[in-house]
Structure 1
C-alpha cells in the first residue's frame, strides 16, 4: 500500500500541539535542540496568541512535522510523494533529504525571520471563497493586494498590507462574496511584499549541503513532481514571492493515484480540500486521531486490508 504525505502550513496550530511537540521531542531525544532554537516553547505562560508570531510559528510547525514524521515513517509501506502547503514544502524538502533536525530548525527559523523582516508593515492573508478568478483579479488590482495561493477556481488566499486588505474585504462584501476570513498569519506570504527575503534566503539554502531526495516532491509550484533536490530547492525559493498553485498540486496528487493520503498537520484543512475534490480517496490527518496509537492501529488495519 502506498502513501502520499501532506505537510500543512501555518494558521491552525494550538496549545495541544505544543504539548505534543514537547512529548515527541522527549521521546526522540531532541529536546535540547528545541530549547536552544525555541526557548519560548518552554515558557509556562505561553498563550495561544503567541503561536502565531511568524518567527515562532515557522520553526515550531516544522519541528512538530519533523517529529510526527519520525514517529510514523517506519509504519508506512511505501511513500510515493511528499507535498507541502506553503511552509509545509520546506518540511517536505527536509524530510525527503533526511538532513538533521538541527539543520531543519535552522532553515525554518531563517525563513521565518527573513519573511518577518520583509513584512515590517502591518499585513497578512485573507481567505476568499465564492468568487471566480476573473472577478477577484479586478478587485486585487483596485486594492493593491495580490494572490498568494490558489486553492480552487472559487477559493483563494490573498495577501497584502492591512489597509489594503480591509479595502478588499469591503469590496468583496459589496459584490456578495460567500466567505471572507482573515487568517492567523502575520505576513503576506507568496506575494511581491516578500521580495526582500528572496536573495538572502537563496543564499541560506545554497550554502547548505542537501542530500538527494528520498521521496519525490509534488510541489505547490504548479504541481510539478520533482526528483532532483536542486529543482525542489529552486521551487521553494521561487514560492517566497510568487503565488502557490495548490489547485494544480492537488490535481497532481490525485493523478498519482495514492492508496492513502495522510496529512501530517497541524490541522486537517488539506485533507478536507482533497476530499471535497475526490470523496472516494482514502484521506486522513494525524489530527483526526486522539492518540498516535489510534493512528498507528488505523494504518496497520489499512495495510492488512490491502494484503
Structure 2
C-alpha cells in the first residue's frame, strides 16, 4: 500500500479553506500570516474576490492550506513511504511538507516566487483552459494566438497562458474547433509559459540562499517525475518550472507506476482528486474538501491501512 499527497495550485481557494485547521498547524499558519501581512484565516473569509485571487495572495494561501492540512493530519510527519507532489505552486507546498524547508523559509520562497512572477508577467497576462481537443491541436491554436500550453492534464484538459485578450480569443477558437469546454481562469499571470522567463533567475537566487534538508518523504517533481534526494540539485528545475510546461498527466502515470493505491488531495478544492480518479481508476482517491472533518479524513486513511 502506498499513499500520495497532492498539493493544489492556486485558483480553487475558498472562504472556508482553513475552517478545519483553524486550531491546528500553528507554525504553518503563523508563517503564512507573517508573509501575507494579515492572518490567513481572516483573509480568506473577508478579502474581496479580486484580492483572494491575486497572484501573490493566492499562492500564499494555497500553500498554507495544503501545508496546514498535512500538519494537522500528520503532526509527527506522514509515513516515510508517502509520495508528496504539487501542482504549480503546490510543489512549493510539497517541498515544505517534505520538510526540505522550515515553514518560514517555505513562505519566503512562495513570496519570492510570486514577486518574481508578477515582475516578469505582463499586466494583462492570464490563463485559460481547453478540454476535449488533442494536444497537437491545442498547441497549434495556442501558437496561433501568441499563447503557450502551460499544463497538460489527463482527459485532454489543457491550461494555456498568454494575454487575457489572447486567451479569450483562443478559447473562442477552441470551442469553434470542437472543444467540449474552454474559458479563461481566475489567474492573472501566465504561469509555466516563456512569458515568465525573467522570473527564473531571481527565484533561483532565492532558492540558493535558503538552507535545505533532505526530504523526509518521497518528494516527486512535476517537471520530470523524478524523486528528489538532493534538493539543492533539484532547485534549478524548481525555478525553471515557472516558465516551462508541467505535464501533470505524466506525473499521475508515474504515481501509478510506483504502486500508489491511495491518493489524498490536500486542496484547496478537489480538482486534483477528480483528475487522479480518472487517471488512476484502481486507486482509492479522495480530497480533504470532500470530508466534513479532519477526523473523517483520518478514519479514511486508517481504514485503508487495515
8 A Cα contact 1:149 1:246, kept in partner: yes
**Bigger mean CA offset, 72-81 vs 106-115:** 72-81
Deviations, residues 54-93 of structure 1 (Å, cap 9, x unaligned): 1111111111222111112248544331111111111111
Aligned to 1:37: 35
Instruction: From the superposition, tell whether residues 16 and 171 of structure 1 become closer, same or farther in structure 2 (CA, over 3 Å).
Output: same
Alignment partners' CA distance in 1, 2:172 and 2:267: 32
C-alpha RMSD of matched pairs (Å): 2.0
Aligned to 1:300: 302
1:129 correspondence with 2:113: no
TM normalised by structure 2 equals 0.91
8 A Cα contact 1:76 1:299, kept in partner: no
Alignment partners' CA distance in 1, 2:79 and 2:248: 26
Per-residue deviation at 1:141? Answer: 1.6
1:55 correspondence with 2:56: yes
> 1:202-241 counterparts in 2 under 5 A?
202-241=204-243
Partner SS for 1:15: coil
**Bigger mean CA offset, 256-265 vs 199-208:** 256-265
Aligned to 2:15: 15
**Aligned counterpart for 1:248 among listed residues 227, 247, 250:** 250
8 A Cα contact 2:20 2:294, kept in partner: no
Alignment partners' CA distance in 2, 1:91 and 1:35: 15
8 A Cα contact 2:128 2:161, kept in partner: yes
Partner SS for 1:128: strand
8 A Cα contact 1:219 1:226, kept in partner: yes
Alignment partners' CA distance in 2, 1:30 and 1:265: 15
8 A Cα contact 1:123 1:188, kept in partner: yes
Partner SS for 2:210: coil
Instruction: From the superposition, tell whether residues 271 and 252 of structure 1 become closer, same or farther in structure 2 (CA, over 3 Å).
Output: same
Aligned to 1:166: 168
Instruction: From the superposition, tell whether residues 180 and 75 of structure 1 become closer, same or farther in structure 2 (CA, over 3 Å).
Output: same
Instruction: From the superposition, tell whether residues 31 and 61 of structure 1 become closer, same or farther in structure 2 (CA, over 3 Å).
Output: closer
Unaligned stretches of 5+ in structure 2?
none
Residues matched between the structures, number: 302
Deviations, residues 227-249 of structure 1 (Å, cap 9, x unaligned): 22134322211211111111111
Aligned to 1:4: 4
Instruction: From the superposition, tell whether residues 21 and 37 of structure 1 become closer, same or farther in structure 2 (CA, over 3 Å).
Output: farther
1:104 correspondence with 2:112: no
Aligned to 2:142: 140
Unaligned stretches of 5+ in structure 1?
none
Partner SS for 2:60: helix
8 A Cα contact 1:222 1:246, kept in partner: no
Instruction: From the superposition, tell whether residues 2 and 174 of structure 1 become closer, same or farther in structure 2 (CA, over 3 Å).
Output: closer
Deviations, residues 84-116 of structure 1 (Å, cap 9, x unaligned): 111111111122234221111111111111111
Instruction: From the superposition, tell whether residues 275 and 34 of structure 1 become closer, same or farther in structure 2 (CA, over 3 Å).
Output: closer
8 A Cα contact 1:123 1:159, kept in partner: yes
